[in-house]
Amino acid sequence: MKSKGKAVKRSRQPSVETDQEFQPEPELEPGSSEQEGSEVSLRLGSRRGRGGADAGVASGPKRRRQHSSAKERNVRRLESNERERQRMHKLNNAFQALREAIPHVKTEKKLSKIETLTLAKNYIKSLTTIILGMSSGCLPHAEGQEHASAAKLLQCYQKQLEDESEAGLAQFLTQIHSFSQGS
DNA sequence: TAGGCCATCTGGTCCT
DNA sequence: AGGACCAGATGGCCTA
Protein backbone atom coordinates (compact mmCIF):
# COMPACT_ATOMS: atom_id res chain seq x y z
CA MET A 1 0.00 0.00 0.00
CA LYS A 2 1.32 3.35 -0.92
CA SER A 3 0.69 5.90 1.71
CA LYS A 4 1.50 9.10 0.04
CA GLY A 5 1.31 12.28 2.01
CA LYS A 6 -1.07 13.94 -0.33
CA ALA A 7 -2.37 16.37 2.20
CA VAL A 8 0.54 18.64 1.48
CA LYS A 9 -0.76 19.33 -1.94
CA ARG A 10 -2.13 22.73 -1.25
CA SER A 11 1.13 24.36 -2.13
CA ARG A 12 -0.17 25.90 -5.30
CA GLN A 13 -3.24 27.42 -3.87
CA PRO A 14 -1.47 30.38 -2.31
CA SER A 15 -0.45 31.45 -5.77
CA VAL A 16 -3.90 32.84 -6.20
CA GLU A 17 -3.66 34.76 -3.01
CA THR A 18 -0.31 36.01 -4.04
CA ASP A 19 -1.94 37.08 -7.19
CA GLN A 20 -4.46 38.96 -5.21
CA GLU A 21 -1.82 40.80 -3.31
CA PHE A 22 -0.13 41.39 -6.54
CA GLN A 23 -3.04 43.11 -8.15
CA PRO A 24 -2.98 46.81 -7.66
CA GLU A 25 -6.66 46.57 -6.73
CA PRO A 26 -9.11 48.65 -8.70
CA GLU A 27 -6.99 50.88 -10.88
CA LEU A 28 -7.13 48.46 -13.76
CA GLU A 29 -6.21 50.23 -16.87
CA PRO A 30 -8.63 49.21 -19.58
CA GLY A 31 -6.84 46.56 -21.54
CA SER A 32 -4.12 45.90 -19.06
CA SER A 33 -6.46 43.69 -17.14
CA GLU A 34 -5.79 40.92 -19.61
CA GLN A 35 -2.46 40.56 -17.96
CA GLU A 36 -4.22 38.93 -15.08
CA GLY A 37 -1.76 36.79 -13.22
CA SER A 38 0.89 37.92 -15.61
CA GLU A 39 3.34 35.49 -14.13
CA VAL A 40 0.93 32.66 -14.69
CA SER A 41 0.02 33.47 -18.22
CA LEU A 42 3.67 33.72 -19.10
CA ARG A 43 4.35 30.38 -17.60
CA LEU A 44 1.44 28.89 -19.50
CA GLY A 45 2.33 30.37 -22.79
CA SER A 46 2.33 27.02 -24.60
CA ARG A 47 -1.02 25.92 -23.37
CA ARG A 48 -3.86 24.99 -25.62
CA GLY A 49 -7.52 24.79 -24.99
CA ARG A 50 -9.47 21.66 -25.70
CA GLY A 51 -9.43 20.68 -29.32
CA GLY A 52 -6.55 23.03 -29.92
CA ALA A 53 -9.00 25.82 -30.47
CA ASP A 54 -6.55 28.26 -29.01
CA ALA A 55 -9.37 30.75 -29.08
CA GLY A 56 -8.31 34.21 -28.19
CA VAL A 57 -4.62 33.81 -28.27
CA ALA A 58 -3.79 33.17 -31.85
CA SER A 59 -6.54 35.28 -33.25
CA GLY A 60 -5.12 38.53 -32.08
CA PRO A 61 -6.03 40.89 -29.31
CA LYS A 62 -9.46 39.52 -28.71
CA ARG A 63 -10.35 40.71 -25.30
CA ARG A 64 -12.33 38.83 -22.77
CA ARG A 65 -15.30 40.34 -21.09
CA GLN A 66 -14.19 42.03 -17.95
CA HIS A 67 -17.34 42.06 -15.92
CA SER A 68 -15.67 41.80 -12.59
CA SER A 69 -12.88 43.12 -10.50
CA ALA A 70 -9.71 41.21 -9.83
CA LYS A 71 -11.03 40.38 -6.43
CA GLU A 72 -14.24 38.91 -7.83
CA ARG A 73 -12.28 36.89 -10.36
CA ASN A 74 -10.14 35.61 -7.56
CA VAL A 75 -13.16 34.52 -5.59
CA ARG A 76 -14.62 32.79 -8.61
CA ARG A 77 -11.35 31.08 -9.33
CA LEU A 78 -11.13 29.77 -5.79
CA GLU A 79 -14.71 28.53 -5.97
CA SER A 80 -13.96 26.93 -9.27
CA ASN A 81 -10.89 25.27 -7.84
CA GLU A 82 -12.95 23.88 -5.00
CA ARG A 83 -15.53 22.50 -7.37
CA GLU A 84 -12.84 20.91 -9.47
CA ARG A 85 -11.33 19.35 -6.37
CA GLN A 86 -14.70 17.93 -5.39
CA ARG A 87 -15.20 16.63 -8.87
CA MET A 88 -11.85 14.89 -8.81
CA HIS A 89 -12.63 13.45 -5.40
CA LYS A 90 -15.84 11.99 -6.77
CA LEU A 91 -13.91 10.57 -9.67
CA ASN A 92 -11.42 9.01 -7.28
CA ASN A 93 -14.23 7.56 -5.20
CA ALA A 94 -15.59 5.97 -8.32
CA PHE A 95 -12.15 4.56 -9.06
CA GLN A 96 -12.00 3.18 -5.55
CA ALA A 97 -15.39 1.53 -5.95
CA LEU A 98 -14.24 0.02 -9.20
CA ARG A 99 -11.06 -1.28 -7.54
CA GLU A 100 -13.16 -3.01 -4.94
CA ALA A 101 -15.44 -4.48 -7.56
CA ILE A 102 -12.76 -6.23 -9.54
CA PRO A 103 -10.78 -9.13 -8.16
CA HIS A 104 -7.04 -8.89 -8.36
CA VAL A 105 -4.17 -10.83 -6.93
CA LYS A 106 -1.92 -8.40 -5.15
CA THR A 107 -4.37 -7.10 -2.63
CA GLU A 108 -1.77 -5.23 -0.60
CA LYS A 109 -0.83 -3.05 -3.52
CA LYS A 110 -3.27 -0.39 -4.52
CA LEU A 111 -4.08 -0.52 -8.20
CA SER A 112 -3.22 2.55 -10.16
CA LYS A 113 -5.94 4.19 -12.18
CA ILE A 114 -4.71 2.83 -15.46
CA GLU A 115 -4.35 -0.63 -13.96
CA THR A 116 -7.86 -0.40 -12.57
CA LEU A 117 -9.33 0.48 -15.93
CA THR A 118 -7.39 -2.19 -17.72
CA LEU A 119 -8.29 -4.88 -15.22
CA ALA A 120 -11.92 -3.83 -15.24
CA LYS A 121 -12.03 -4.07 -18.98
CA ASN A 122 -10.50 -7.54 -18.91
CA TYR A 123 -12.80 -8.58 -16.12
CA ILE A 124 -15.85 -7.51 -18.06
CA LYS A 125 -14.59 -9.33 -21.10
CA SER A 126 -14.01 -12.55 -19.23
CA LEU A 127 -17.35 -12.34 -17.49
CA THR A 128 -18.99 -11.80 -20.82
CA THR A 129 -17.26 -14.84 -22.20
CA ILE A 130 -18.37 -16.92 -19.24
CA ILE A 131 -21.93 -15.74 -19.48
CA LEU A 132 -22.08 -16.32 -23.18
CA GLY A 133 -20.81 -19.84 -22.65
CA MET A 134 -23.24 -20.40 -19.84
CA SER A 135 -26.20 -19.09 -21.72
CA SER A 136 -25.47 -20.73 -25.03
CA GLY A 137 -28.29 -23.09 -24.24
CA CYS A 138 -30.96 -20.47 -23.90
CA LEU A 139 -29.59 -17.90 -26.27
CA PRO A 140 -29.25 -18.47 -29.97
CA HIS A 141 -25.54 -18.19 -30.53
CA ALA A 142 -24.38 -18.11 -34.09
CA GLU A 143 -20.71 -18.68 -34.52
CA GLY A 144 -18.62 -15.61 -34.91
CA GLN A 145 -21.36 -13.38 -33.66
CA GLU A 146 -20.24 -12.61 -30.18
CA HIS A 147 -21.46 -9.06 -30.35
CA ALA A 148 -24.90 -10.12 -31.39
CA SER A 149 -25.01 -12.63 -28.57
CA ALA A 150 -23.73 -10.10 -26.11
CA ALA A 151 -26.44 -7.75 -27.22
CA LYS A 152 -29.04 -10.42 -26.72
CA LEU A 153 -27.56 -11.19 -23.37
CA LEU A 154 -27.84 -7.57 -22.42
CA GLN A 155 -31.46 -7.54 -23.51
CA CYS A 156 -32.02 -10.63 -21.43
CA TYR A 157 -30.40 -8.94 -18.48
CA GLN A 158 -32.46 -5.80 -18.91
CA LYS A 159 -35.60 -7.84 -19.17
CA GLN A 160 -34.73 -9.53 -15.91
CA LEU A 161 -34.43 -6.12 -14.36
CA GLU A 162 -37.79 -5.03 -15.68
CA ASP A 163 -39.65 -8.23 -14.90
CA GLU A 164 -38.36 -9.22 -11.55
CA SER A 165 -36.45 -6.25 -10.31
CA GLU A 166 -33.90 -6.96 -7.58
CA ALA A 167 -34.87 -10.55 -7.00
CA GLY A 168 -34.35 -11.38 -10.62
CA LEU A 169 -31.07 -9.59 -10.68
CA ALA A 170 -29.91 -11.43 -7.59
CA GLN A 171 -30.85 -14.71 -9.16
CA PHE A 172 -29.10 -13.76 -12.35
CA LEU A 173 -25.93 -12.88 -10.48
CA THR A 174 -26.12 -16.03 -8.43
CA GLN A 175 -26.27 -18.07 -11.59
CA ILE A 176 -23.22 -16.33 -12.92
CA HIS A 177 -21.39 -16.75 -9.66
CA SER A 178 -22.12 -20.45 -9.33
CA PHE A 179 -21.20 -20.99 -12.91
CA SER A 180 -17.86 -19.25 -12.54
CA GLN A 181 -17.18 -21.19 -9.33
CA GLY A 182 -17.85 -24.38 -11.12
CA SER A 183 -15.70 -23.67 -14.11
C1' DT B 1 18.29 10.02 -9.42
C1' DA B 2 14.85 8.95 -12.88
C1' DG B 3 10.41 7.71 -13.75
C1' DG B 4 5.67 6.69 -12.38
C1' DC B 5 1.69 8.21 -10.18
C1' DC B 6 -0.97 11.54 -8.26
C1' DA B 7 -3.32 16.06 -6.55
C1' DT B 8 -4.03 20.51 -7.66
C1' DC B 9 -4.36 24.71 -10.35
C1' DT B 10 -5.77 26.82 -14.46
C1' DG B 11 -8.11 28.46 -18.55
C1' DG B 12 -10.68 26.99 -22.61
C1' DT B 13 -14.86 24.82 -24.22
C1' DC B 14 -19.31 22.66 -23.76
C1' DC B 15 -23.80 22.33 -21.76
C1' DT B 16 -27.93 23.72 -19.28
C1' DA C 1 -24.19 33.29 -16.97
C1' DG C 2 -22.40 29.77 -14.46
C1' DG C 3 -21.22 25.08 -13.63
C1' DA C 4 -19.25 20.82 -15.60
C1' DC C 5 -15.85 18.84 -18.18
C1' DC C 6 -11.36 18.54 -20.05
C1' DA C 7 -6.41 18.63 -20.78
C1' DG C 8 -1.91 20.82 -19.96
C1' DA C 9 1.34 22.27 -16.46
C1' DT C 10 3.51 21.84 -12.14
C1' DG C 11 5.41 19.92 -8.17
C1' DG C 12 5.40 16.38 -4.37
C1' DC C 13 5.91 11.60 -2.92
C1' DC C 14 7.46 7.01 -3.64
C1' DT C 15 10.02 3.12 -5.53
C1' DA C 16 13.53 0.75 -8.25
User: Which bases of chain C are under 7 A from a protein CB atom?
Assistant: 1, 3-15
In terms of pLDDT, which residue wins out, A25 or A153? A153
In terms of pLDDT, which residue wins out, A172 or A85? A85
Distance A19 CA to C1 C1' (A): 25
Cβ contact A106 with chain C strand, < 7 A: no
pLDDT at A140: 52
pLDDT at A12: 40
Q: A31 and A63 in contact (C-beta within 8 Å)?
A: yes
pLDDT at A62: 33
pLDDT category, A45, cuts 50, 70, 90?
Answer: very low
pLDDT at A169: 52
pTM, entire model: 0.58
Q: Which of A115, A97, A96 is nearest to A105 (CA)?
A: A115
Average pLDDT over all residues of chain A: 58
Distance A95 CA to C1 C1' (A): 32
In terms of pLDDT, which residue wins out, A98 or A12? A98
At residue A13, the 3 state secondary structure works out as coil
User: Which bases of chain B are under 7 A from a protein CB atom?
Assistant: 4-14
Contacts of A179 (CB under 8 A, 6+ apart): A130, A131, A134
Q: A91 and A99 in contact (C-beta within 8 Å)?
A: no
User: Among the ranges A106-115, A146-155, A170-179, which has the highest mean pLDDT value?
Assistant: A106-115
CA–C1' nearest nucleotide, residue A115: B5
Mean pLDDT of the region A31-49:
32
In terms of pLDDT, which residue wins out, A62 or A160? A160
pLDDT category, A150, cuts 50, 70, 90?
Answer: low
Distance A88 CA to C3 C1' (A): 15
CA distance A171 to A163: 12
CA distance A122 to A116: 10
pLDDT at A148: 63
Q: pLDDT at residue A111 above 80? A: yes
CA–C1' nearest nucleotide, residue A8: C12
pLDDT category, A100, cuts 50, 70, 90?
Answer: confident
Instruction: Out of A1-15, A103-117, A144-158, pick the least confident.
Output: A1-15
